[in-house]
A = this chain, B = another copy of it.
Amino acid sequence: MTLVQLRYLIAIADSGLNITLAAERVHATQPGLSKQLRQLEDELGFQLFARKGKSLDTITRAGEQVIERARSILAEAANIRAIAADLRNQAHGELRIATTHTQARFALPAAIAALNASYPQVRVHLQPTRDADVLAQLQAGHVDLAVISTAGAAPAAGIALPAYHWRRVIVTPHGHPLAARDQPPSLAELASLPLVSYESSLKAESSLRHAFDAIGLTPQIAMTAGDADLIKTYVRAGLGVGVLAEMAMQDGDRDLHTLSAEHLFPVCTTWIVLRRDSVLREYMLEFIQQFAPHLDRRDVARLLANDAADVHWPRIPPWREREGVAATA
């Protein structure tokens, strides 16, 4: 068993059991991977993958177990290299972030711009990911950190650092009846109107659905999109009333009427999620600092080192208090 073999194994597993594709990804030849996989299987004494003819068909039950451990091994190896790179004060590297579109579009730009100013050598890679897969990307080791929102408690996986609170807003064209009134609508009223919102709000566990469920009503979702810009576009087109995150409303959106939804939906929290046992490069800490300035850098480092829960976080600031920063991006 070698680290190379394990790396190949993971590459194959992550390439949908296509050895040729995996070989490209690790910059090696296909026969090389084939042989190494074979040797690993020989050494372990059982098949990691079930074959169908010559092709790999599925991952064995035992293979799953091994792959899981192999991931952990490779992650730790990467950690060792990260320690080394950081010690050499190497300012260049990569920052891979998995997040939702809204974060990437409205919340992250300021922090990433600031990071780029201090560490121009660091290449940031925003992994385009469906909302539901963000944490899986982190667990699989494809990204260094995830940025994700919940309506309540911290996400279960990894170590979650609270970045900020935010709320939803209701958006209509200026001529809309709701816009003419001086008070925001009730939930019941909202349920009677066609809504335009995020794809994720269709899911039963979404906090939007929960809010309506609580009063026994079902919202009419006229259309959904993964993308706040799309939602705004369709609100402008008169398709319905938009329900989206407050930070998605920017200066350029003056043509839309924004109503508070504070009283209707629970407050949401955006978290930075790190892999347990991951070693952060200096510039990663810098990014966290930029994105969530209320977090103490040493506390973050300490939390990762000890896995100790003895670190207490300060008050999580609401998004509004940061709008000045965000608007610059």
- Enumerate chain A interface residues (CB-CB to B < 8 A): 1-3, 43-46, 62, 65-66, 69-70, 72-73, 76-77, 79-81, 83-85, 87-88, 277, 279
Contact = CB atoms under 8 A, between A and B. Distances in A.
The majority secondary structure among interface residues of chain A is helix
A81 B85 CA distance: 31
A76 B69 contact: yes
A212 to B, nearest CB: 31
A1 B76 CA distance: 12
Quick one: copies of this chain in the complex?
2
10 closest Cβ pairs, A-B complex? A44-B84, A69-B76, A73-B76, A45-B88, A73-B73, A69-B80, A72-B76, A46-B87, A65-B83, A66-B80
A84 B2 CA distance: 15
B1 A2 contact: no
Contacts of A83: 44, 62, 65-66, 69
A77 B45 contact: no
B46 A84 contact: yes
Nearest to A90: B45
A293 to B, nearest CB: 27
Contacts of A65: 83, 279
Nearest to A4: B2
Nearest to A83: B65
A279 to B, nearest CB: 8
A306 B89 CA distance: 37
Contact of A44 (B3, B72, B80): B80
28 contacts: A1-B3, A1-B77, A2-B2, A2-B3, A3-B3, A44-B80, A44-B83, A44-B84, A45-B84, A45-B85, A45-B88, A46-B84, A46-B87, A46-B88, A62-B83, A62-B84, A66-B80, A66-B84, A69-B77, A69-B79, A69-B83, A69-B279, A70-B80, A72-B72, A72-B76, A72-B277, A73-B76, A76-B76
